[in-house]
Amino acid sequence: MEAQTVKRVVIAGGGTAGWIAAAALVKQLGPLLDITLVESDEIGTVGVGESTIPTTRTFHSLLGIYEQAFLRETTSTFKLGIAFENWNRIGDKYFHAFGTVGKSVWMADFQHFWLEARRQGFGGDYGDYSLEQQAAHAGKFATSEGSTLSYAYHLDATAYARFLRGLAEPAGVKRVEGKISQVLQNARTGYVEALELASGQRIEGDLFIDCTGFRALLIEQALQTGFVDWSEWLSTNAAVVVQSESTGPAVPYTRAIAHEAGWRWRIPLQHRVGNGLVYCDADMSDDAARAKLLADIDGKPLFEPRLLRFKAGTRKQSWNKNVIAMGLSSGFIEPLESTSIHLIKIAVSRLIQSFPFGGISDATMSRFNAESRKEMEHIRDFIILHYKLTERDDSPFWRRCRDMPIPDSLANRIALFRDNAAAYQGADEMFRIDSWIMVMLGQGVEPRSYHQLGRLMEPGQLRSALSDLKGGIAAELARLPAHQDFVEHYSKG
């Protein structure tokens, strides 16, 4: 491939992953490429990735997506964070909000000032200094050109794929209907040369993007790339999912509610609610999971619950020969922090930046794979954090989570915060300092020490500063309308 020009891109599979890749490639590199997407209407997609993180907004801006049209077509609502219930102990609650908390200085982040205030007997809760958390709890939201709220979306994944297809096809992406029956490889190099469909049609290409979901037809079944299993730390391996009728106004946050063998989600959209129960099948049967899901939802189910099976882990290589895996075919780290759609978007963005127009090289693949692996490991550690930092002793599942050994990379982060209230975000890491702090505090980690800069402040200065921060949040909150009212008005614009 070193001497071959790469122009023909074939995307195997549609759904969210396929149409994200297609829309991004044709928008950014369209005149330089010949893009074909192969999918079959007979093959269903997982279609349950209904929660996103704020990076989606940046991605949409790159594609020139008008937010109000997107909201209308996907029946989306807004998301300010995730409410965690029963994770540390049964009855406990905490909130992982988007955005920043308080104000930091170069010498010390905000949590150090807050801890000093708490030592002095004031300061309230850490989340009191998060506009996003306070707006979420109040059920308020608005966005405008000058808005300071950091937010993401709850969306209908099937409608989202349809929306992106509506952008990609008019821009030049060719869609071919059909089931892939065979992946044809070069006998000498092993590179994929074409996809053969059940109809006998051959779709030839130079670069193939595997968006075939958990089946991983190209990256694994054809190329046998290999899989790194992370179920020793993330043992949930199944989910039952169902959509239900709305029973009240949509709240601007996701609920993640722990149960004896995992957790369940509740995601409100404009026209319905998405529900799922994630569990470890060694601790809960499929029938018990289905019964628990149906017993715990609000509103009438809109269809029979669907069962999904998965394994936490990642491909040994996201890019192998001339195949790049995106979406579920590249790996999966359960849906707890809504990272699946982000990983698709960052993968296609990385491909756009390093597109091998002059031929595929080992150096390009190596760099792509190293960045992909590092990002997956960072997200993996953040998800493990929620399970490891539990005091629950009510079931074998939670006792295993509490007692399990964890990766050194995560153990060092926890120790750093426990010893000195310090947290950090690497240059290429997705989760912010505020995210690590909110989850560790929410899950009961009490720092033994912290930076003493707050003690250098004049008497009353720290109290006044924190009071001003709270006052600013209260003033912004007072100007915000109810989330449901804003969505109804905004999506019609």
Active site residues: 79
Query: Looking at beta carbons, which pairs linking 383-388 to residues 24 or more positions away fall under 8 Å?
Result: 383/234, 383/333, 383/334, 383/336, 383/337, 384/233, 384/234, 384/410, 385/410, 385/413, 385/414, 385/436, 385/439, 385/440, 385/443, 386/84, 386/87, 386/336, 386/439, 386/443, 387/233, 387/234, 388/414
Can you spell out the DSSP letters for 132-200? Answer: HHHHHHHTB----TT-----EEE--HHHHHHHHHHHHHHHTPEEEE--EEEEEE-TTT--EEEEEETTS
Q: How far apart are CA 339 and CA 279, in angstroms?
A: 18
What lies within 8 Å, CB to CB, of 433 at 6+ separation is 109, 423, 424, 425
Query: Do residues 13 and 367 touch, judged by C-beta distance below 8 A?
Result: no
191-205 burial: b if 16+ Cβ within 10 Å, else e: bbbbbebeeeeebeb
Q: How far apart are CA 390 and CA 164, in angstroms?
A: 40
SS (H, E, C) 279-318: ECCCCCCHHHHHHHHHHHCCCCECCCCEEEECCCEEECCC
Phi, psi (deg, nearest 5) at residue 292: -65, -40
